[in-house]
Amino acid sequence: MNGEHPCMFIKLNFFLILRKLRLRTIPVLFIVFPLLVSSQNKQLDSLQQLTQKLSKQPGFKTDSIYLKSINDIIAIFLTNHPDSALELAKTNEQMAHDANLGLIEAEAIRHQGFAQVTLGNYSEAMVLFNKSLAIFTQLKNEKGQAKIYNNMAVVFKNIGDYPKALEFHYKSLAIKERHKDKRGIAVSRGNIAILYKNQKRFKESLIEQLKAYQLFKEINDENGISTAAGNLATNYSYFKNYPKALFYHDEALKIAEKNDDHVGIAHNLDNISRVKFNQNKIQEAISLQLRSLEIREQNKDLYGIARSYISMGDFYQALGNKTKAFDYYQKGLTICEKIGRKDLSSAFHDEMYKAHKENGNLAKAIYHLEQHNIIEDSLFNDEVENKTLELKTKHEFEQKAIQLKEEKEKERLTFITKSENQRYIIIVISLFIVFLLAFIIAIQLSKMNVQMSYKKLELANIEIKQKTEALHQSLIELSEQKNEINELNFSLQEKVKERTKNLESAYKQLRDFSYANSHHLRKPVANLLGLCDAISKNNTDDPENKEIIKMMLDSAIELDTIIHELNKLDIQDNL
């Protein structure tokens, strides 16, 4: 949000929230109105009271859109107002539980855990995260599990357990890779890179940061690219690869300029000026730092202004211009004391000590050295106190973890005992059911066998009846065939008699024909043969031969007549 007030963020998204809560317009007006007109603490207190009041109204029905929107509002205030956000998240958890909305309930519990992290209550946070994780796991919502693993990693990072933090970041990463969530993968790899850097494992940090950067490039996520590019530049600066560092700082700067992100522009100009200084390009470094300082002064970013002053002091100190360097150090020191930044104040006192010492002003040099030592002692004490608190917190966390593990073990043993008892009951009931089923099956089988025998008997009776009918039909057919045979025998006898008669008539005709053939035809044929022989022996011109020829003609005519008579005999008809 580039330093904007959270309340302004709510105002800008007022209509978006209304649209998201379209099913609960009237309750939303009651809830959002206090957010727009009151302070942030009162905003959440009003929201908490109104939510509880609405949930108790007769006939009031909540739904997923309403509860999701409350979760969205909680997320805005988790960092700045964790106490109020925590109470509201508890109310939202209960409402989601009553409405049987598991995912929203798990998210509300996760918000409670995040609020506890902000408050530094890491043990309580881990209990809540485990509770939320159990719901997400039961609902098989892997994206929710990935969020929880990431939150757990933050807890382990804050208590200084970097190996555990890495373990949970990698668990979150595995889910995101399974779902091919490129943005989620890039964020996880960026977090892993930061952990490696905190462990001074700069090479591994650089590798992970490059992977994150490439993924942000693939999905064209400008905010992600800017963040990853800035981290890459820091890594390359550590390896004194200044060209690479400048390349990535320039890329981050261009994105900040494109999005009109003044804080980002100033931050990147500051980083670039430091790289230029390390390259001994001091004038370029001064020019860039002055641009950064101008933007920070316009935005009234006191911490940023102090950082620019210490950089300008270092630059002019390197150029040998002690007066200007001293002036910037003095201005920076004034701001640091005003905002209470001990780390920068210590650095300024150290630089002032060196400057006064070189100028021969021993009294002021001793004063700044003393102040530097006092602040360093204070910082050391704070570090020791923080380390002690961290160890105490870690011990409490480990104790809570052991307690939680013991409770889980008790729950597991109770569950096992209960399960064993239930198992025995289930076995007895199962055996009874099996016996009952076997008895029922036996009766059914017996009944089925009787039915099958009856059906077989019926089929046999039907078959016998069909065979009897077929036999009766065969006897009828045989009787009919016998009658037909008798009729055929009688008809055949008549036909035999008639045929015998016809044969006798035909035989008689054949005898007559044979007789005619042997007597009547023989004579003319013999005459013709004799005449033919006589002609062959005599001269044709002889009158006797003419007579012979006439006789041959008469014989031929006679033969023709006889043949005609023979043709008239109806031998075929008689046959």
Q: What is the DSSP string of 88-153?
A: HHHHHHHHHHHTT-HHHHHHHHHHHHHHHHHHT-HHHHHHHHHHHHHHHHHTT-HHHHHHHHHHHH
Q: Is the pLDDT assigned to residue 15 strictly greater than 80?
A: no
In the structure, what pLDDT confidence band is assigned to residue 130 with cuts at 50, 70 and 90? Answer: very high
- The CA angle 357-360-365, to the nearest 5 degrees, is 40
> Closest by alpha carbon to 344, among 353, 359, 332?
332
The fraction of the chain above a pLDDT of 90, given in percent, is 26
d(CA 450, CA 444): 10
More confident residue, 202 or 496: 202
Q: 414, 179 in Cβ contact below 8 A?
A: no
Q: List, for residues 450-459, the tens digit of each pLDDT value.
A: 888 888 888 8
Both tokens of 135, joined, read 């719901």
d(CA 114, CA 482): 112
Q: List, for residues 62-87, the tens digit of each pLDDT value.
A: 557 777 887 788 887 777 788 888 88
* 513 located within any domain: no
* 93 located within any domain: yes
What pLDDT sits at residue 145?
94
Picking from 119, 142, 169, the residue at the C-terminal end of a domain is 119
Residues 6+ apart with CB under 8 A from 563: 521
What pLDDT sits at residue 244?
93
* 377 located within any domain: no
Q: 78, 114 in Cβ contact below 8 A?
A: yes
- What integer is the mean pLDDT of 141-163? 90
Instruction: Give the global pTM.
Output: 0.54
d(CA 284, CA 89): 51
Q: Is the pLDDT assigned to residue 24 strictly greater than 60?
A: no
Residues 6+ apart with CB under 8 A from 515: none
In the structure, what pLDDT confidence band is assigned to residue 20 with cuts at 50, 70 and 90? Answer: very low
What pLDDT sits at residue 21?
41
- What integer is the mean pLDDT of 366-372? 71
* 235 located within any domain: no
String of DSSP letters for 324-392:
HHHHHHHHHHHHHHHHT-HHHHHHHHHHHHHHHHHHT-HHHHHHHHHHHHHHHHHHHHHHHHHHHHHHH
Residue type, 125: A
* 312 located within any domain: no
What pLDDT sits at residue 474?
82
Residue type, 563: I
Q: Is the pLDDT assigned to residue 353 strictly greater than 80?
A: no
Picking from 62, 86, 119, the residue at the C-terminal end of a domain is 119
* 441 located within any domain: no
Mean pLDDT, the chain, rounded, equals 77
Picking from 85, 119, 153, the residue at the C-terminal end of a domain is 119
Task: Supply the range of the domain harboring residue 549.
Answer: 520-574
Q: Is the pLDDT assigned to residue 370 strictly greater than 80?
A: no
Q: List, for residues 487-499, the tens digit of each pLDDT value.
A: 888 888 888 888 8
In the structure, what pLDDT confidence band is assigned to residue 400 with cuts at 50, 70 and 90? Answer: low
* 19 located within any domain: yes
Region class of 301: left (phi > 0), else alpha (psi between -120 and 50), else beta: beta
Q: 170, 185 in Cβ contact below 8 A?
A: no
| Range from 116-125, 163-172, 399-408 carrying the lowest mean pLDDT | 399-408
Q: How many structural domains compose the chain?
A: 2
d(CA 342, CA 378): 8
Q: Is the pLDDT assigned to residue 230 strictly greater than 50?
A: yes
d(CA 210, CA 204): 10
Both tokens of 146, joined, read 């990935």
- What integer is the mean pLDDT of 404-416? 67
What pLDDT sits at residue 498?
83
* 355 located within any domain: no
